Each structure stands twice: as structure tokens, then as C-alpha cells.
Amino acid sequence: MISRRMQKMVAANSVIRAMFEEGLKLAREYGKENVYDFSLGNPNVPAPEALKKAALKILSEDDPVKVHGYMPNAGFPTVREKIALSINKRFGTGFTSANILMTVGAAGGLNVALKALLNPGDEVIAFAPFFGEYRNYVANFDGELVVVPPNTETFQPDLRSFKELIHPQTKAVIVNSPNNPTGVVYSEETVKRLAAILDEKQKEFGTSIYLISDEPYRELVYEDAFVPYLTKYYRNTLVGYSYSKSLSIPGERLGYVVVPGEVDDFEQLFQAMTVANRILGFVNAPSLMQLAVAECLEEKTDIAYYARNRETLYTGLTKLGFKLVKPEGAFYLFMKTPVEDDSAFAQAAKKFNILLVPGSAFACPGFVRIAYCVSYETIVNSLPKFAELSKQYGL
């Protein structure tokens, strides 16, 4: 018999993954070109050629023990140093290799941070809508996820409710900007107010509240939207980064966490996260990818590709009468459903071979997420199908 904890997690298995499986099934039935699969955040832009070249060079020239062997659990010191310098150059920070922990994607980074921080019953706050896996990551370490209700007008966090939900047991707050599922970028004004609230509450309760900034979409912004670097606004900030979307390598599983020297209990925390990396079974982040990515820190994804998809889909859907906030980042649109029941709407869309993820999966019913990291043809060809769907709802 499997554990009670896993019974619960299996029962609440990811809606996104279920949709993705459904998409594969429909593609077999109707042909790939007749299925409009907007379910998964799997980048359609190829990984940079420079990454492939770097990997091949490393494989053919470097010492195989170095490339394929065990290493310090925090990752290659040389790679960590290069990443620290590249962050400093971009954001005017002062990190060194001692502040960078290489992780198995953003997911690995979040799990490592939460394992290092949480005692059973500790609370972690997230702002709806949020990436549904946060619920599992917090539950992995017997924490309690506390959800700040969504502000469905702008999708900036509702800071008034936030303030009321911070308790002496609050150990961490997770923010994600550019946001999955809305594509919204948290403004500097929001970040400053959020930091001031956390400072005030830390003082009031005499506790440390860690702000975990989950940033897999940092590089995916349109019209030069400004994404504040949170360590500059709040002292107890950890930044979780990933190359999954910025270099289109989600299957390679590479990211890092920045742990600034000024966070409370820095030495202990960094050591605990390094041990967590090992004992969660990651041991260390993938070796070849660390070495190859370190050669490609200046590489950028093709943002124009996503920008074109965003423009065409946003304009097309708005013309059809659907209501959406135009996103400034990531590759998601979050669309209001013309009926309250978002799951029923997603089912109705499926009849037109359009696959969408209900907002309930992100703690925000009444919306659906559209992942537009697909081919441009899929976008264009889906619009007549969306038109049929909109007619069904009298839009």
C-alpha cells in the first residue's frame, strides 16, 4: 500500500500533465496539425546552437572524470563563479560562487530551499494564481500553503490580504514574476510595498521570513518590461532561477538558487540547502549541462517568436469577445471564461481540439491558461476554432 501522503498527491495529480497526455492522444487520433495544444509550458523555440556546440566540445575535449564524475553537491565552483559574475554585471549585485547553488531546475531549487527551511506546520504564502506544484512542494516538507486570493483586475498581488495572512508561523513567501499563469510582471511599486510589509512583520514577530523569488521566466519579457531583482529590495530573499525556458532546455533540468550573504543564518542555510540537494536524491545538478550553460550565459532565447504569438493570439481572442489581461512576460495568456465553471469551458474547448488548462489548477477559477509557446501555425489555425467556441457562448 502506498503512503497516505502519496495517495493524496496522486489523487490531485497535475491537471496540466493530464491535459498534455490528452493532447498526445488527440494528435494520434486527428493528426498533430489539427490539435491546438496550449496545455504545457514546453518551449517551441529551439535551444541556442551555441549550447549544442559547447556541449559537443566539452564531450570531445574535456577530462571524462570531470565531465561525468561526482562533484561538490553545490555544483562546479567555476560555473557558480561565472554565474555570480554574470548576475552582478546585469543587476549590480555583489555575489560570488559562495552564493550560488546549482540545482535540478527551478523545481529542484524550490524543493531544496523548502526542505532547508520548513518545520512541520510552518506556513508558506503564495499569491493566487500560482504554479500548482507549489502545493506539492510545500506538502513535501509538511508545510502549510497559505493562499492570498487573486486580484483578478490586474493580477498584481493583493497586498492588503497578504498582510493579514502573515503569522508568526510564516516561514516563507513565494513570488513568481513574470507569472505563470498570467504573464503579469510584478511592478516595482508592488515589490517595494511587499518588501515593506515583510520588514514590518519580521520586526513585529521577531522572526525571519524568507522571500523566495521563483524566476524561470525572468528573460521572457516584452517591450522591455522591467523585472525588479528582489535581493535589492528585501534582505531575506532567495532567487530561484532556471534555464528551462530561457534556453529552452526543460528536459535537461538545470537551474540555481542565489542565497545572498546577508540573509539570516546564511552559512547554515547554504549548507542545509547543499545537503538537501544531496539527500533529496539530486546529489548535484547535471554535470554536462552546468559546463555547457556556463559557456552560454550571454545567449538569449528568440523573444520575437513568442512576441508574435502573443500579439496574434491576444488580438485575435480580444476581437472574438474574450476578456484577457495583456501579459508583459512569460508565454501564457490567462483568459476569463464566459461561464463560471472553467473546467466545463475547458471541456467545451476540447470539442474543438483546443487544449486549455482550467484556472482552478492555479487556485483561480473562472479563467483558463493558454500556453502560447507553440508554433505560429498552431496560433493562426486555432483562431477559427476559437471563433466557433466563442459563438457557442454568444460572444
* Binding footprint of ligand PLP on the chain (CB under 6 A): 41, 105-107, 131, 176, 180, 214, 216, 242, 244, 250, 255
Would you say 111 or 236 has its CB closer to ligand PLP? 111
The least CB distance from residue 203 to ligand PLP, in Å, is: 30
Would you say 131 or 270 has its CB closer to ligand PLP? 131
The least CB distance from residue 51 to ligand PLP, in Å, is: 16
Using alpha carbons only, what angle is made at residue 147 by residues 146 and 148, rounded to the nearest 5 degrees? 125
**DSSP track, 225-278:** -----GGGT-TTEEEEEESTTTTT-GGG--EEEE--TTSTTHHHHHHHHHHHHH
Would you say 114 or 389 has its CB closer to ligand PLP? 114
The least CB distance from residue 1 to ligand PLP, in Å, is: 30
**DSSP track, 105-121:** HHHHHHHHHHHHHPPTT
Residue found under cell 529551439? 46
In the 8-state DSSP scheme, what is residue 368? Answer: E
- Judged by phi (left if over 0) then psi (alpha if -120 to 50, else beta), residue 276 lies in alpha
Cβ-proximal residue to ligand PLP, closest one: 105
Cα 360 to Cα 346: distance, rounded to the nearest angstrom? 11
The least CB distance from residue 175 to ligand PLP, in Å, is: 10
Would you say 131 or 229 has its CB closer to ligand PLP? 131
The least CB distance from residue 214 to ligand PLP, in Å, is: 5
Would you say 296 or 348 has its CB closer to ligand PLP? 296
Would you say 250 or 286 has its CB closer to ligand PLP? 250
Asked whether 379 and 310 are in contact (CB, 8 A), the reply is no
Grid coordinates belonging to 11? 489523487
The least CB distance from residue 241 to ligand PLP, in Å, is: 8
What type of residue sits at position 107?
A: A
The least CB distance from residue 174 to ligand PLP, in Å, is: 9
CA dihedral 163, 167, 169, 173 (to 10 degrees): 0
Would you say 35 or 107 has its CB closer to ligand PLP? 107
Q: Taking the CA atoms of the chain, what radius of gyration do you get in angstroms?
A: 21
Burial class, 10, CB count within 10 angstroms (exposed 0-12 / middle 13-18 / buried 19+): exposed
- Give counts: helices (H), strands (E), the chain: 14, 13
